[in-house]
Amino acid sequence: RKEVEQDPGPFNVPEGATVAFNCTYSNSASQSFFWYRQDCRKEPKLLMSVYSSGNEDGRFTAQLNRASQYISLLIRDSKLSDSATYLCVVGEDSNYQLIWGAGTKLIIKP
Protein backbone atom coordinates (compact mmCIF):
# COMPACT_ATOMS: atom_id res chain seq x y z
CA ARG A 1 0.00 0.00 0.00
CA LYS A 2 1.32 3.40 -0.93
CA GLU A 3 1.94 5.80 1.93
CA VAL A 4 0.22 8.71 0.20
CA GLU A 5 -2.39 8.00 -2.44
CA GLN A 6 -4.09 10.29 -4.91
CA ASP A 7 -6.50 9.74 -7.78
CA PRO A 8 -4.32 10.43 -10.83
CA GLY A 9 -7.26 11.84 -12.82
CA PRO A 10 -7.43 13.66 -15.10
CA PHE A 11 -10.33 15.62 -13.72
CA ASN A 12 -11.94 17.50 -16.62
CA VAL A 13 -13.90 20.40 -15.22
CA PRO A 14 -15.67 23.34 -16.92
CA GLU A 15 -14.48 26.80 -16.10
CA GLY A 16 -16.34 28.29 -13.15
CA ALA A 17 -17.18 24.96 -11.57
CA THR A 18 -16.13 23.74 -8.14
CA VAL A 19 -13.82 20.77 -7.95
CA ALA A 20 -12.53 18.77 -5.01
CA PHE A 21 -10.05 15.95 -4.65
CA ASN A 22 -8.77 13.94 -1.76
CA CYS A 23 -5.51 12.43 -0.73
CA THR A 24 -5.25 9.52 1.72
CA TYR A 25 -2.26 8.74 3.91
CA SER A 26 -1.42 5.52 5.69
CA ASN A 27 0.51 6.66 8.76
CA SER A 28 -1.78 7.85 11.53
CA ALA A 29 1.20 9.57 13.18
CA SER A 30 1.58 11.99 10.26
CA GLN A 31 1.94 15.53 11.52
CA SER A 32 2.18 17.92 8.61
CA PHE A 33 0.33 18.23 5.35
CA PHE A 34 0.77 20.34 2.26
CA TRP A 35 -0.69 20.84 -1.19
CA TYR A 36 1.61 21.74 -4.07
CA ARG A 37 0.78 22.43 -7.69
CA GLN A 38 2.99 21.55 -10.60
CA ASP A 39 2.56 22.95 -14.08
CA CYS A 40 3.78 20.94 -17.03
CA ARG A 41 7.59 20.75 -17.07
CA LYS A 42 7.89 23.22 -14.19
CA GLU A 43 8.93 22.89 -10.58
CA PRO A 44 6.36 22.10 -7.84
CA LYS A 45 5.15 25.18 -6.02
CA LEU A 46 3.68 25.31 -2.55
CA LEU A 47 -0.04 26.01 -2.74
CA MET A 48 -0.93 25.82 0.92
CA SER A 49 -0.20 24.11 4.19
CA VAL A 50 -3.06 22.16 5.72
CA TYR A 51 -3.85 22.73 9.37
CA SER A 52 -6.01 20.71 11.73
CA SER A 53 -8.64 23.41 11.71
CA GLY A 54 -8.62 23.60 7.93
CA ASN A 55 -7.63 26.69 6.03
CA GLU A 56 -8.75 28.83 3.19
CA ASP A 57 -6.85 30.99 0.73
CA GLY A 58 -9.08 32.79 -1.72
CA ARG A 59 -10.78 30.19 -3.90
CA PHE A 60 -8.85 27.34 -2.32
CA THR A 61 -9.87 25.47 0.81
CA ALA A 62 -7.92 22.64 2.40
CA GLN A 63 -9.28 20.28 5.03
CA LEU A 64 -7.72 17.59 7.19
CA ASN A 65 -9.67 14.56 8.41
CA ARG A 66 -7.47 12.72 10.88
CA ALA A 67 -10.06 10.07 11.73
CA SER A 68 -10.28 8.92 8.13
CA GLN A 69 -6.69 9.87 7.29
CA TYR A 70 -7.21 12.08 4.32
CA ILE A 71 -6.78 15.67 3.28
CA SER A 72 -8.86 17.45 0.69
CA LEU A 73 -8.49 20.39 -1.62
CA LEU A 74 -11.50 22.35 -2.85
CA ILE A 75 -11.24 24.85 -5.68
CA ARG A 76 -14.16 27.19 -6.21
CA ASP A 77 -14.92 29.18 -9.36
CA SER A 78 -12.19 27.34 -11.24
CA LYS A 79 -10.08 29.26 -13.75
CA LEU A 80 -8.29 28.03 -16.84
CA SER A 81 -5.04 28.83 -15.03
CA ASP A 82 -5.90 26.28 -12.35
CA SER A 83 -5.07 23.51 -14.82
CA ALA A 84 -2.12 21.71 -13.29
CA THR A 85 -1.16 18.63 -11.34
CA TYR A 86 -1.89 18.90 -7.62
CA LEU A 87 0.50 17.09 -5.31
CA CYS A 88 -0.34 16.00 -1.80
CA VAL A 89 2.56 15.91 0.67
CA VAL A 90 2.65 14.41 4.15
CA GLY A 91 5.28 14.70 6.88
CA GLU A 92 5.86 12.32 9.78
CA ASP A 93 7.76 12.98 12.99
CA SER A 94 9.40 9.57 12.79
CA ASN A 95 10.55 10.23 9.25
CA TYR A 96 12.34 13.46 8.54
CA GLN A 97 11.21 13.35 4.95
CA LEU A 98 8.07 14.60 3.33
CA ILE A 99 6.19 11.83 1.53
CA TRP A 100 4.87 12.86 -1.89
CA GLY A 101 1.76 11.63 -3.63
CA ALA A 102 1.91 10.99 -7.36
CA GLY A 103 -0.45 13.89 -8.06
CA THR A 104 -3.93 14.55 -9.45
CA LYS A 105 -4.14 16.10 -12.88
CA LEU A 106 -6.76 18.83 -13.26
CA ILE A 107 -7.86 20.22 -16.62
CA ILE A 108 -10.15 23.24 -16.67
CA LYS A 109 -12.04 23.57 -19.94
CA PRO A 110 -13.51 26.81 -21.30
Q: What is the contact surface with another protein in residues (CB under 8 A)?
A: 31-32, 34, 41-46, 49, 87, 89, 91-93, 95-98, 100-103
Question: Distance between CA atoms of 31 and 36, rounded to whole angstroms?
Answer: 17
For another protein, give the closer residue by CB, 46 or 80: 46
Smallest distance, another protein to C-beta of residue 31, A: 6
CA distance 68 to 51: 15
In the complex with another protein, the residue whose CB is nearer, 19 or 50, is 50
| Whole-Å CA distances, 5 to 2, 21, 35, 51 | 6, 11, 13, 19
Measured from the CB of residue 107, what is the shortest distance to another protein in angstroms? 15
